[in-house]
Amino acid sequence: MAETGHPTAVIQAQPVPLKRRLRNGAAALRRTPLIPMMILWMLLICVAFAPLIATHDPVKNEISNNHAPPSTSNFLGTDTLGRDVFSRIIYGSRISLALSLLVIVIGGGTGIILGTVTGYMGGLADALVQRAVEAILALPLILVALTFVFTFGFSFWNVIFILCPFVAARFARIVRGETLSIRERDYVAVAKVMGAPTHQIVLKHILPNVFNTVVVISTLEVGHIILVESSLSFLGVGIPPPNPAWGLMVADGRQYITSAYWITLFPGLAILATVLSLNLFGDWLRDTLDPRRRQL
Amino acid sequence: MGAPMVMDNRTTKNGSTLLRVEGLKTYFLQRSGVLKAVDGVSFTVKQGESVGLVGESGSGKTITCLSLMRLVPKPAARIVEGEVWFRDQNLLSLPEREMRGYRGHKMAMIMQDPQTSLNPVYNIGNQVAEPVRLHLKERGQKALERVLEALKAVRIPNPEQRLGQFPHQFSGGMRQRVAAAMGLSTYPELLIADEPTTSLDVTIQAQFLALIRELQSEYGTSVIWVTHDLGLVAQMCDRVNVMYAGRIVESAPVRNIYKEPQHPYTRALLDSIPIMGVKRDKLYQIEGQPPDLRNIPQGCPFWPRCPSAMDICHEEYPHRTSLGGDSFVHCWLAEK
């Protein structure tokens, strides 16, 4: 495409001065959420290399050494059964992250598809899906999950199964709203006038424009799912013990919060740091992906 | 197609009929009744010709154009009757799949608002390439060349550099040019311009119109101008169709429309243009409101506002009176 002798080629070829490049780089760095990204990287490393990082077996009891305060042998102390809190948090990251990612991919994916397709097409399909969404959103999540898990038994997959419809409903609702507004934009009309088939309009014009929203709700939902999983575990119907789930650990320590605060505090901090980082990261991602904001 | 070929098959390049609309009726079926947005519209567009579709807001101009494209808002609106012949093909009898081959390929449309007619997430090159990929089935380097050619055709400076930029980096006039480039990138035979200049300021508007005219003489494209700007019509159109309450009430070459308008509505429209240098206390305006299309008055729909209404106007819709050539008017005054 390089046109020789074209006047713009000359303008384009002029190098950006080093000083300005540095300044631009610094500005970009300032906008990047470094701390949240570091926390998320650490989380990913924990997930990937849990056996290497953990100092103890997360499910091995050592009753003689229970409620030990943080020390050099147990960085974050031990719990009621003498298990190492640090190792349990490291292993717990696997469960929390796997659970929320699976729910986002399955539930969120379903919600996005339903939201864009029915939102764009409207009519009976749209009405049916929206009534279903309303019905789901009207149910109290914790109560339904409690009943479900009591009936069908404790397991990782049961928790995922019961969370997916709720997440799908949220996604479908928000994405559909967005789709309705995008559907009326002129560029969708232009695409129709251009003779683009429906699936292409949904894929090329609707989906990329709801993407910003999807990114933001996904990061928010991951935080939400971790919290719900924690609540369920706290109530004793989430991830079955002795698996090291963060919410379960908080629940375990609640009786001893005055005498052995570390059992509750550190898993709680892990939840807090993860959820907060995800939200900040999501904000940044949305700004970065929006072509209009990228230039600012 | 099994449709009877009743139309005469003139295939000479210039002056041959490109589009022929016959008795087109598009109704909105509502709970409160039938809204007749387009009620028996017939007109023709010849190869290379510019045709104006003029009327007040709500007279059915836009719905007429959307009907030509078969893109009336579903499920509310329905094309209930009529034929739209594009060369030898009745578009209304085509299956949807084949119809898509016409849209954006043989007939393109430019929208009113350049601010929203481009998708903010794609760069310009990508957007202009979409019809090229879709209809000309060109990809990669060939598509890129086609896009550059289209951008050059609409006089966008430095098209190579502009390709990678996004819509928000373009001014309104430039975006409208990009929209035009998108429409023209597939060499359509018919371009429908739905009030393309309303959101542009006067200088940019003049530039844009000059550009379209240039392109028209270059490619021999026919254009339908949908507008209520009679100045634009005078500049750009060969023929004018004046619409009122979903019908064409007068159709004539542009010179005749301005010199000797036959229908009182056309006359009223022309009178409501301010004339430079002539001082008037108040701008002329047509009394009353356009009729509610759910409840069009019996007879000629214009009679409640017509300064020269007669008894017969209340009773019966006037027949078509030929004014010589293809020109006609629907008015009892002309019939006498």
What is the distance between the alpha carbons of residues B250 and B263, in angstroms, rounded to a whole number?
Answer: 6
Q: From B100, which residue of chain A is nearest by alpha-carbon distance? A: A195
What is the distance between the alpha carbons of residues B205 and A254, in angstroms, rounded to a whole number?
Answer: 72
- Asked if B87 is an interface residue toward chain A (Cβ–Cβ < 8 A), one would say no
Any idea what the Cα angle at residue A21 is, between residues A17 and A22, rounded to 5°? 120
Residue A20 lies in a domain: no
User: Domain limits at A175?
Assistant: 33-61+73-294
Contact A196 B100 (CB under 8 A): yes
- Asked if A293 is an interface residue toward chain B (Cβ–Cβ < 8 A), one would say no
On chain A, the residues whose CB falls within 8 A of the CB of B182 are 190, 194
Contact A193 B71 (CB under 8 A): yes
- Asked if A1 is an interface residue toward chain B (Cβ–Cβ < 8 A), one would say yes
> Other C-beta atoms within 10 Å of A128: how many?
11
Tell me which DSSP letter residue B92 carries. G
Predicted pLDDT of residue B64: 92
Residue A135 lies in a domain: yes
Interface test with B, best of A182, A183, A187 (most B CBs within 10 A): A187
Residue A178 lies in a domain: yes
Contact B260, B254 (CB under 8 A): no
Q: Name the region of A236 (left: φ>0; alpha: ψ -120 to 50; beta: rest).
A: left
Burial of A231 (0-12, 13-18, 19+ CB in 10 A): middle
Contact B131 A195 (CB under 8 A): yes
Residue A222 lies in a domain: yes
User: Which of B109, B118, B161 has the CB atom closest to A187's CB atom?
Assistant: B118
Q: Tell me if the bond preceding B75 is cis, omega within 30° of 0.
A: yes
Residue A13 lies in a domain: no
Predicted pLDDT of residue B199: 73
H or E, element range at B64: helix B61-68
> Other C-beta atoms within 10 Å of B310: how many?
13
Residue A14 lies in a domain: no
Closest-CA distance of chain A to residue B255, Å: 32
> Other C-beta atoms within 10 Å of A176: how many?
24
Strand-strand pairing, B107-110 and B190-194: parallel
Contact A292 B160 (CB under 8 A): no
Tell me which DSSP letter residue B108 carries. E
Closest-CA distance of chain B to residue A195, Å: 4
H or E, element range at A93: helix A85-103
Counted domains in chain A: 1
Residue with tokens 């009877």: B4
| Six-digit token string for A46 | 């924990």
Which residues make beta-bridge pairs with B30? B33
What is the distance between the alpha carbons of residues A169 and A108, in angstroms, rounded to a whole number?
Answer: 8
Closest alpha carbon to B250 in B234, B264, B232, B271: B264
On chain B, the residues whose CB falls within 8 A of the CB of A123 are 75
Burial of B141 (0-12, 13-18, 19+ CB in 10 A): exposed
DSSP of B29-61, one letter per residue? Answer: EETTEEEEEEEEEEEEEETT-EEEEE--TTSSH
Predicted pLDDT of residue A139: 92
Predicted pLDDT of residue A5: 43
Residue A2 lies in a domain: no
pLDDT by residue for chain A (296 residues), tens only, comes to 444 444 444 444 456 677 777 777 777 777 788 899 999 999 999 888 988 888 888 888 888 888 888 888 778 888 888 888 899 999 988 888 888 889 999 999 999 999 999 999 888 999 999 999 999 999 998 889 888 888 888 888 888 999 999 999 999 999 999 999 888 888 888 888 888 888 989 998 899 888 888 888 888 888 788 888 888 887 877 787 778 888 888 888 888 888 888 888 998 899 899 888 988 888 888 777 776 665 54
Predicted pLDDT of residue B2: 39
pLDDT by residue for chain B (336 residues), tens only, comes to 334 433 333 333 456 889 999 999 999 988 888 888 898 899 999 988 999 999 888 888 889 998 998 888 877 888 998 999 998 889 999 898 888 888 888 898 888 777 788 888 888 988 889 888 888 888 888 888 889 988 888 888 888 888 888 888 888 888 888 888 888 888 889 999 888 887 777 887 888 888 888 888 888 899 999 988 888 888 889 999 999 988 999 999 999 988 888 899 998 888 888 777 777 777 777 878 888 888 888 888 888 888 888 888 888 888 888 888 888 999 888 876
Sheet holding B50-54, edge to edge: B107-110, B190-194, B222-227, B50-54, B239-244, B247-253, B328-330, B320-322
Contacts for B188 with CB less than 8 Å, ≥ 6 apart: B104, B105, B106, B107, B108, B221
How many CB pairs lie under 8 A apart between chains A and B?
Answer: 79
ipTM reported for the complex, 2 dp? 0.72
Predicted pLDDT of residue A3: 42
pLDDT digits (tens, 9 = 90+) for A46-87: 888 988 888 888 888 888 888 888 888 778 888 888 888 899
What is the distance between the alpha carbons of residues A235 and A224, in angstroms, rounded to a whole number?
Answer: 16
Q: What is the pTM of this model?
A: 0.73
Predicted pLDDT of residue B13: 46
Residue A22 lies in a domain: no
What's the CATH code of the domain at A122? 1.10.3720.10
